[in-house]
Structure 1
Amino acid sequence: MTRIAIVGGHGKIARLLIPVLVDAGHQPVALVRNPDHTAELQDLGAEVVLLDIEASDDADFAQAFTGAGAVVFAAGGGGDGNVERKKTVDLGGSLKSIAGATAAGVSRFVQISAISVDEPLGDDVEDSWKAYVEAKREADVVLRASDLDWTIIRPGGLTDDPGTGSVTLAEKVDRGQIPRADVAAVIAAVLEDPATHRQQWEVVSGPTPIVDAIAAAVS
């Protein structure tokens, strides 16, 4: 059994990931700011550790990761248009997680990013979307430069549709949508596969079973 710390443990993807990890024999550890979410997450099978991403420092993250075998960064600043929270959560939270994992000796790190964030932005994009893309882009740059055994997953447009278990996954794919449940399944699959270390993929819905899609991408 591996303890897997999930930053942003009450997010939509995290709540779908937790039972998948439990079914695979792991112990998810959900890191959340709000103690009111504790019972719900425990019912899903997670341990809960309170951690305020914006108020905590690198050492707090390292302490929260103690005893974990892997870290999943699944946090986001929300879709409320708050530009500053893109910087403090999507970027700042990732940087603290990277530093905390390094300090705690947790080498395995999976980060949820977003499709096409390396592409130039047009002049007409909203400030909040620009801040989001720039935050994800910079967080990925820092993670790739680290000594961690990282995997970066860049999903397309997220939906709450039921998962299909099949995707299109590659370094670069055409824009599309993908259920959050399938993103969670991809995360669970790469966590246990050393061949996915230091790999970055975009992923959208598609015809290929997840295990086969990952196997093809690493071959």
Structure 2
Amino acid sequence: MTNVLILGANGQIARQVIAQLKSSKAAMKLTLFLRNADRIKDIAPADSTIIDGDTTDTDALKKAMKGQDVVYANLAGSNIEAQAKDVVSVMDALRIKRLIWISTLGIYDEVPGKFGEWNNKTLGSYIQNYAAAAQVIEHSDLDYTLVRPAWLTNKDEIDYETTEKSEEFKGTEVSRKSVANFVVHLIQEPNLEVKHSVGVNKPNTDGDKPAWY
């Protein structure tokens, strides 16, 4: 049995991850950590633990993290760097190693051409905040994977490719369902992409900006 803690469990990608884990045959015990916990009861597995909490509350984090094998963080906010520091600190204290962290494209200035220019202008300080959080994680001794999705859609499809930190980002968009599928693979096979930062995009979606924007 693998114990998995999902931080920010009501996020749109996180909800897709929960749904995909529920339909898999893998032996998983989920702990779902979020503010206003009633929001997740509609999709939570019957045997899951639901915790109402905030990642800035390190005491609540410690209680949630005890006994976990994998931490998957689907967090957001202008204080994302501080949240990263708290997550890393508590994981270190409890000697938990495996972290999957949702970040964003552009944190290494890895998005080329006109799309990169548009992405930087459109996201602005959002990129800097997430880049700072990524540095916290990359400078830790955790077995982390940073996931950098392209611009997200709600398309009902699983269709994606990946790039590494040293490579130029590809494409402009990807479905949340696809990103969730990648996260599920990482949860089920925790030795994959350890200490890597991975871009995730739908193939053949190159352009100056997402086609739907």
**What secondary structure does 2:199 align onto?**
strand
Distance 2:70 2:199 in 1: 21
Question: What is the CA distance between 1:38 and its match in structure 2?
Answer: 4.5
Given candidates 129, 132, 156, the residue that maps to 2:150 is 156
In the alignment, which residue of structure 2 is the partner of 1:189?
185
| Cα RMSD (Å) | 2.4
Given candidates 132, 156, 160, the residue that maps to 1:138 is 132
**What secondary structure does 1:135 align onto?**
helix
Question: What is the CA distance between 1:35 and its match in structure 2?
Answer: 3.0
> Number of residues paired by the alignment?
192
Please say if residues 149 and 198 of structure 1, whose CA atoms lie closer than 8 Å, have aligned partners that are also in contact: yes
Question: 1:20/1:44 Cα in 2 relative to 1: closer, same or farther (>3 Å)?
Answer: farther
**What secondary structure does 1:9 align onto?**
coil
Given candidates 146, 160, 167, the residue that maps to 2:160 is 167
Q: Which moved more, 1:22-31 or 1:109-118?
A: 22-31
Given candidates 185, 196, 201, the residue that maps to 1:199 is 196
**What secondary structure does 1:196 align onto?**
coil
| 1:35 aligns to 2:37 (yes or no) | yes
In the alignment, which residue of structure 1 is the partner of 2:95?
105
Higher percent of residues as helix: 1
Please say if residues 115 and 155 of structure 1, whose CA atoms lie closer than 8 Å, have aligned partners that are also in contact: yes
In the alignment, which residue of structure 2 is the partner of 1:180?
176
Question: What is the CA distance between 1:45 and its match in structure 2?
Answer: 6.2
5+ long unaligned stretches in structure 2: 111-115, 205-213
Question: 1:46/1:177 Cα in 2 relative to 1: closer, same or farther (>3 Å)?
Answer: farther
Please say if residues 5 and 30 of structure 1, whose CA atoms lie closer than 8 Å, have aligned partners that are also in contact: yes
In the alignment, which residue of structure 2 is the partner of 1:81?
none
Question: What is the CA distance between 1:3 and its match in structure 2?
Answer: 1.1
**Map 1:9-158 → 2, pairs under 5 A:** 9-22=9-22, 23=24, 24-42=26-44, 46-54=48-56, 56-57=57-58, 59-77=59-77, 86=78, 88=79, 90-119=80-109, 125=121, 129-158=123-152
Please say if residues 65 and 91 of structure 2, whose CA atoms lie closer than 8 Å, have aligned partners that are also in contact: yes
